[in-house]
């Protein structure tokens, strides 16, 4: 049986920003896909989560953490699982961003694009 991928929590990870996340007031099911969810259902749910992330005051902290931890599941900082897979696939695993702020620097274009009007379907 294949191992479930696990987040690799950075040693310097801090969690206080989570107390200020807009998702605290939202349905958690928006941020994590149910088993076997595919296609347009998944796109709609991801987009709904991204709309919440787009207005979140701690989005940068969240996105930085998710990239550094290689979070496998859920929408974090406006980045869907597919967005992060794209980021992970292009980053050099030998010099993977692990220090605070390095996730933002390594994936700034994807983080910005993730909640762009085009990505949210309002362009
Ligand atoms: S950016 Fe999104 S997932 Fe992260 S804390 Fe804010 S609302 Fe929650």
Q: What DSSP line would sit under 93-123, residue for residue? A: GGG---STTHHHHHTHHHHHHHTSHHHHT--
pTM of the model: 0.92
Average pLDDT of span 8-29: 93
Instruction: Give the model's pLDDT for residue 1.
Output: 45
Q: What pLDDT is recorded for position 123? A: 78
Angle at alpha carbon of residue 68, lines to 83 and 97, rounded to 5°: 105
Residue 38 C-alpha from the chain's centroid: 18
**Is the pLDDT at 4 greater than 70, yes or no?**
no
Cβ within 8 Å of residue 10, ≥6 positions away: 65, 68, 69, 98, 99, 100
pLDDT in tens, 58-72: 999 999 999 999 999
Indicate which residue's Cα is closest to atom 3 of ligand 1.
Answer: 76
Phi/psi for 103 (5° steps) reads -65, -40
Distance 91 CA to ligand 1 centre (A): 23
* C-alpha 22 – ligand 1 centre gap (Å): 6
As a whole number of angstroms, the distance between CA 6 and CA 31 comes to: 17
CB of residue 65 inside a 6 A radius of ligand 1: no
Q: Is 50 in the pocket of ligand 1 (CB under 6 A)?
A: no
Average pLDDT of 78-86? 97
CA–chain centroid gap for 57, Å, is 15
């Amino acid at each position: 049986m294949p191992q479930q991928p696990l987040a690799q929590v950075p040693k310097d990870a801090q969690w206080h920003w989570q107390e200020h996340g807009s998702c605290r007031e939202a349905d958690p099911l928006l941020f994590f896909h149910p088993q076997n969810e595919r296609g347009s259902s998944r796109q709609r749910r991801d987009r709904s989560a991204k709309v919440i992330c787009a207005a979140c005051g701690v989005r940068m902290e969240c996105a930085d953490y998710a990239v550094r931890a290689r979070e496998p599941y859920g929408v974090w900082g406006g980045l869907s699982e597919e967005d992060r897979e794209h980021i992970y696939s292009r980053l050099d695993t030998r010099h993977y961003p692990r220090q605070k702020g390095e996730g933002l620097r390594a994936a700034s274009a994807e983080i910005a694009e993730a909640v762009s009007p085009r990505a949210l379907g309002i362009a």
